[in-house]
A and B are shown apart, each in its own frame.
Chain A
Amino acid sequence: MKLILALLEKTRPLFQKGGRFTALKPIYDAVDTSLFSPLARTSRAPHVRDPLDTKRYMSTVIIAVAPCLLAAVHFFGLRVLAMVLVSYAAGGAVEVLLAVFKKDEISEGLLVTGILFPLILPPGLPLWMVALGSAFGVLVGKELFGGTGRNLFNPALIGRVFLALSYPKAMSSGWIEPGQGLVGRLLEYATDAVTMATPLAAAKSGTWAALPDLFFGNVTGSVGETSALAVLMGGAFLLIIGIANWRTVAAMLGTFVIVTAGIYGGDPHAIIWHLLSGGLLFGTFFMATDPVSSPIMNSAKWVYGAIIGIATALIRNFTGYVEGVMFAILLGNIFAPVLDELFVTAHVRRLREEG
C-alpha cells in the first residue's frame, strides 16, 4: 500500500502541467483518486464535508446488480462476463478519449452505465455489437449532452435503442435458453446454446411460462432481467440505502398493477405474471430510478413513475412490441424536464406564499 502510494507520488510530476504525459492526466487522476482518497481540503465554510462522494454513490449500483450478474452467469454462461468486460472497455475507451481530449476528469457515471448496459441485452448478442452499443450510448447518450449529470436520457437505454434500430434481427434473436440445474451454465461459455422465445413473446402466442421459473429466472430474456429474485434483492438494497427513490418505484409498480388488473379483469395470476416477466422489475429498480434522467422534485417522481408504469402496461398489451419498459422509460425521460418545470414552478409559488 505504501509502495503504491509512493509510486503514485513519484509519477505525479509526469502528468502535471509541463510533464511528459500531461495529456493523460485524466487517467492518472482517475487511478490516483480511486486507489487513495484525495488530499483535497475544504477552502471555505462549511469546513467539514460528508464522506459520501460520487465514487461511492455510483459504486453502490454495482453492488446492487451483483445478484443479477451472478444469476445471469448461472443461466447464460460465462459469456455474460465477457459482455460486461467489453461494455466497460468500449464505454471506458470513449469516456477516456473524450476526457483526454477535453482535459476533463473521467466521470464515475461510467461505473453504472458500463455494467447496466450489457444486462439489458439479449444474452446471445455478438460481442462487437455490445462494444458498439456501449460506445454509442456513452458518446451520444451522455457526452453529447455534456457528460454525467447533464444527460437527458439514460445512456444505457440509448445504446440499446441504437442497437435495436440498427440490428433488429440480432436484437430479437439472441435469446439463449437458460442453463438448467444447480450448476446451470456456470462452467460454459455458451455461444452455441439453443435460442428460444422470451416469455412475453411466447405469451402472445398463448404459452405462459410458470411463475416459479419467472421468479427464479429460469427463462430467457435480457441478460440481467430474468431473475425477479435477484432484481428484488438488488432493488431492496438500493431502496434501503436511499440511492433509488422509493416514490418512482412505488408509482411505477403501482400504476402498472392497476392498469394490468384493468386489462385482465383483476386476474391475480396475470398480474403477478406480468410483474415478474420481462424487464419490468429491472427497469423499475435500475433504469427508471436513475436520478439524472428523472425529474428532481419528489412530487414529480410520482407522476414520472406513473407515466412509465402505465406506458409499459399499454405497450406490452396493445402494440406489436412484446416488451415496453425500455420505451416507456425513455418516454418518461422525455417528460422529466416538463415535469420539472411544472413541479418546480408550483413549488416556488408555494414558497412565495410562505414569504
Chain B
Amino acid sequence: MVGSEKQGRPRLQRMPVARLKGGYNIGLAGRPVSRVVDLAVPGRLVLPLVSRCFRFKDIRVEEGARVSAWTVLATDPKRFSAPLIAAYGGTVRLDEIAGHIVLESLHGTLSSGSSGSDRDAQAGARDGSRGAGASGGSPADIRDQLVTLGAWQFITDARTDLPVDPAGTAKAIIVSTIHLEPFVASAEALLHGRLDSFVRGLEYLHELTEGGIVHLAVADDAGFVTDLAALVVHHSWCRFHTVTPRYPFGHPLLILRRLELGRDSDRPAWATRTAGVLAIERALSSGAPSVERIIALGGPAVSEPVHLKAVIGYPVDEILQNRLCQDDVRVINGGIFTGSDVPREQSGLDVECEGLTILSELRKRHMLAFARPGLWRNSYGRTFVSRLCQSGPAERLNTTLGGELRACVSCGQCMDVCPVGILPSVIHKFLHADEIDEVERMRVDLCIECGLCSLVCPSKIELLSDMRDARRLIREEHEVQEKLEAKAKREEEKRLAAKEARAAAEAGA
C-alpha cells in the first residue's frame, strides 16, 4: 500500500483504523500545556548513571576534578560508548549519591548555538559554524559525530525499541511524533517554532540511512499537520502517515507492523521520535552536544502543568520546588504506563527523560466506593455513570490499586484493549501453570509493553509484569538452547577433527 503511492505527491495516508485495534486514552488530570518554560541554572547537577537503555559504567572523570562544560563524564561500554555529557562545568563528586555523578559549583553557560530554535540555527548556519560533516562527510563520519555529541542515543531498532549500533544499516526509519502516554513531552511543545529544524533533521536521517525511506507518523489532530505536510511534500523519500491519536498508537513497533515493514528482516528498520530528530539536527547543524531536554511536567499533583527546558542531570527536587499542589506524591520518570518512580531528593533527569509525571499517593479510604454511581470516575468499562453522561470533572487519579487482587474473571477487557491483539489473560494463566511453550505459542513476543492490560484488569492482575516475565523466560530458554546447540556442534566438530586426524595418521602409517 505504501509502494503504490505516486512519487512527489503529498502522501497523507491515514493508518487504516481497522488495523489499529485496542488502545485507550486515559483521562488523567494535569496534562501539560504546550508552553515551554526555561529553567534557571540549577544549584548542582545530579546525573544518573543508569537509564532505561543505558548503563554508563565507564567513568572518565575523577573525584574532585574540575571539569568544563561538555566534558564526557562517563560512557556505556556495551552501547557503542554512548557518552554522558556534562551540560555545565563543575566539580565532580562520585560518591555523594549512589549511581549518580554529582557536579557541584557549576560554572560556564550553555553555548548560544544550543538553544535550538529555528532562528538560532539559521543564524548559526549563516555564521558558517555549521557542524563538520553535516552533509559533507561520509555517513560513517556523521554517525561518529552523532555518537560523540550524544545524539545517536535517540535512534532505536524499531523492532526491539533498543538503541542501535552506529555501524548498522537500515532501509527505513520510522519517525513517530505521536507521544500520547500521560505524560511525556508532546510534539506540539517540541515542534513549536522548530518545524524547519525538524524537516532538516528528517533530511539528515534520510542521508544517515543512505537513502532510506523516512516514515513520518503524525497524529491526525495535531495542530502542525498541514504545515508539516506542506514542508515534506516535495521529498520523495518521506512518507507521511496520519494516525488516530490513541495510546499507544504512536509506538514505532506498531507503526512498523502496520506498514508491514517488519517482515523483511535482512535490513532492519530504525525508529526515532520527535526529540531525536531535533537533537540530530542540532548536533549536525551547530555541532553542539545534546545535553538539553524538553520534558513534560504533568500529573494530578502538579499545580501548573507545563513543558520545561532543562539539562540532563537537573535535580528533580529543584524542578519540583514550588510546582506541586501537595507533598505526598510519587514522582515518575516518564509516563504512568512505562515510567518508573524516582526518589525525589536523590535524582536528576536521565539522558532518556521525556517527562516527569507526579501522582498523589493514596492515603484515604472511601466508604462503599465500589457501590457508588461514579459520576466523575475515569474508567475504561461502562459500569460507572460517568461513561453514560460524560459529565463532571475528570477524576484526579492517584496511585490506588482500586481493588483487591482476585482470580481472572474472564471479563475480556485486557483482550479488547491490547493494541497488538494478543490474549493477556490466557498468557497469564499459562505462565502461572508453568507452561512456557504454550505462552510462546500465544505470541507474547508481540507485546509492546504498553501496560494497558494491567490498567483495565478488574481483578488487579499485574499483567504487564507477567508479560515481561514471560518474555524474559522465553529469552532465557532460547539462550540455554542455543548454548546447548553450540556446544553439541563444537563437540561434533571436535569428534570429526579427531576422526580425520586418526584417518590421516592411519594413512600415513
Interface residues of A (CB under 8 A from B): 1, 4-5, 29, 33-42, 44-57, 59-60, 105, 107-109, 146-150, 240-243, 245, 291-292, 294, 296-298, 344, 347-348, 351-352, 354-355
Contacts and interface: CB of A to CB of B under 8 A. Distances in A.
9 contacts: A29-B404, A36-B366, A36-B367, A41-B361, A52-B380, A52-B458, A53-B406, A54-B458, A351-B443
A49 B423 contact: no
B462 interface: yes
B407 A291 contact: no
Contact of B422 (A51, A54, A351): A351
B31 to A, nearest CB: 14
A48 B26 contact: yes
Given A47-B339, A292-B410, A296-B423, A53 B367 contact: no
B426 interface: yes
Contact of A348 (B262, B403, B441): B441
A49 B401 contact: yes
A49 B442 contact: no
A351 B370 contact: no
A45 B336 contact: yes
A22 B435 CA distance: 35
B143 interface: no
Given A46-B337, A57-B383, A41 B407 contact: no
A54 B409 contact: yes
Given A47-B399, A48-B399, A351-B420, 18 more contacts: A36-B367, A38-B400, A44-B465, A45-B339, A47-B330, A47-B359, A48-B400, A49-B457, A51-B369, A51-B378, A56-B458, A148-B409, A292-B409, A296-B423, A297-B415, A347-B421, A351-B446, A352-B443
Contact of A41 (B379, B401, B421): B401
Nearest to B408: A149
Contact of B382 (A107, A148, A242, A344): A242
B350 to A, nearest CB: 16
Contact of A48 (B260, B365, B398, B411): B398
Contacts, number: 209
A48 B458 contact: no
A39 B423 CA distance: 29
B455 A50 contact: yes
Contact of B367 (A35, A56, A60, A294): A35
B64 interface: no
A165 to B, nearest CB: 28
Contacts of A44: 462, 464-465
Contacts of A35: 367-368
Contact of B399 (A41, A107, A150, A344): A41
B338 interface: yes
Contacts of B340: 45
Given A37-B400, A53-B458, A243-B383, A46 B336 contact: yes
A54 B460 CA distance: 9
Contacts of A51: 369, 374, 377-379, 384, 395, 400, 402
